[in-house]
């Protein structure tokens, strides 16, 4: 059975707090004032402070967990490494955004004994405005067990 | 479009091949712990040498998304407005091993303009090295110019 095309609607809204944005900026050592000071952001044309370009990692990691924890998929998390990541930002993330998440299994391939899973997470407001798309490639290091064959295969 | 109040770098001032000011990043265990907490990626390979080695790694490694997030600063500082980054991607090549000491490890980042597009955007190619070796297979950002 193929899992390509499977989608998950995550059962929560992530409300972006002003402090979440500030703490993330500190965590990646970027002290640009536009992340913490609304006046600095307004001075360059934004209505409020903005989040770091990779802020959606915080939401995407939670999104990945939902997929990797799906018992049907039978992934071995201990053998998983992160292969690639892409952030497509349709508009800046701002304080007060209430974001929905949907996760999509776009592709699964096996190469050289490893499984490559392409997971796309779509983040939007409750009104449906697209905010960001995050695409991750997760690699499950090979042991000869195919995806979807179950954990005890 | 008004350009009077924006901090965006102007397209007229950007050419293919332009080098961005280089960036040196220090990464310590403290950074890894902070990022684990912020991101909820609490995989043991980011805090336990013992378990990292059991997983076949040389030691505790930084989160790919942490290094990717830190490295983005070379682009956000140069372009002037972090929100001008509309697309940012990396392939994670070599793991960044972070020793359990005050010095941690160092990532040296350089970048250059790889392409200036007709639609007012540019592609910035990013090269991040730890101990002389590239940590990303490919890394670039698409930025919107004024």
Per-residue pLDDT of chain A (153 residues; tens, 9 = 90+): 578 999 999 999 999 999 999 999 999 999 999 999 999 999 999 999 999 999 999 999 989 888 888 888 888 777 788 899 999 999 999 999 999 999 999 999 988 889 899 999 999 999 999 999 999 999 988 754 444 443 332
Which class for A19: exposed (0-12), middle (13-18), buried (19 or more C-beta within 10 A)?
exposed
pLDDT at A67: 85
**Does residue B69 sit in helix, strand or coil?**
helix
In this complex, do B92 and A83 lie within 8 Å of one another by their Cβ atoms? yes
List b or e across A113-142, with b for residues whose CB sees 16 or more CB atoms inside 10 angstroms.
eebbbbbbbbbbeeeeeebbbbbbbbbbee
Chain A CB within 8 Å of residue B87 CB: yes
Residues A62 and A40: their CA atoms lie apart, in Å, by: 30
pLDDT at A26: 97
Mean confidence (pLDDT) of chain B: 93
Chain A CB within 8 Å of residue B38 CB: yes
Predicted TM-score of the model (pTM): 0.92
pLDDT at A143: 59
* Nearest in space to B80 (alpha carbons), one of A151, A33, A126, A153: A33
Residues A30 and A49: their CA atoms lie apart, in Å, by: 14
pLDDT at A153: 28
Best residue in B5, B39, B74, B140 for a mutation probing chain A (most A CBs within 10 Å) = B39
In this complex, do B76 and A46 lie within 8 Å of one another by their Cβ atoms? no
In this complex, do A32 and B77 lie within 8 Å of one another by their Cβ atoms? yes
pLDDT at B56: 85
Looking at chain A, list the stretches that DSSP marks H as alpha helix, in order from N- to C-terminal side. 18-27, 38-42, 57-68
Q: Spell out, as residue ranges, where chain B has pLDDT lower than 50.
A: 1-5
Of B5, B6, B92, the CB nearest to A84: B92
Between the two ends of chain B, the Cα-to-Cα distance in Å is 8
């Amino acid at each position: 059975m193929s899992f390509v095309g499977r989608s998950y609607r995550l059962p929560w809204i992530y409300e972006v707090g002003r402090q979440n944005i500030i703490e993330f900026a500190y965590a990646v050592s970027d002290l640009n004032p536009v992340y913490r000071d609304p006046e600095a952001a307004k001075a360059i044309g934004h209505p409020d402070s903005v989040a770091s370009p990779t802020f959606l990692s915080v939401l995407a990691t939670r999104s990945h967990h939902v997929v990797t924890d799906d018992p049907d998929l039978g992934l071995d998390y201990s053998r998983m490494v992160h292969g690639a990541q892409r952030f497509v930002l349709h508009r800046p993330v701002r304080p007060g955004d209430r974001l929905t998440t949907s996760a999509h299994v776009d592709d699964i391939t096996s190469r050289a004994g490893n499984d490559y899973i392409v997971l796309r997470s779509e983040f939007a407001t409750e009104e449906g405005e697209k905010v960001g798309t995050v695409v991750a490639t997760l690699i499950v290091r090979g042991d000869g067990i195919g995806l979807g064959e179950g954990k005890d295969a | 479009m008004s350009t009077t109040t924006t901090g965006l770098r102007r397209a007229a001032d950007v050419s293919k091949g332009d080098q961005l000011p280089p960036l040196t990043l220090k990464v310590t265990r403290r950074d890894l712990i902070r990022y684990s907490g912020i991101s909820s990626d609490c995989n043991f390979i980011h805090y336990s040498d013992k378990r990292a080695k059991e997983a076949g790694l040389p030691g505790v490694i930084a989160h790919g998304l942490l290094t990717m997030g830190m490295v983005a600063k070379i682009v956000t500082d140069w372009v002037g407005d972090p929100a001008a980054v509309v697309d940012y991607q990396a392939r994670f090549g070599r793991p960044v091993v972070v020793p359990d000491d005050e010095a941690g490890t160092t990532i040296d980042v350089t970048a250059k303009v790889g392409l200036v597009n007709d639609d007012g955007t540019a592609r910035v190619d990013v090269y991040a090295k730890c101990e002389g070796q590239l940590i990303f297979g490919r890394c670039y950002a698409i930025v919107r110019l004024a």
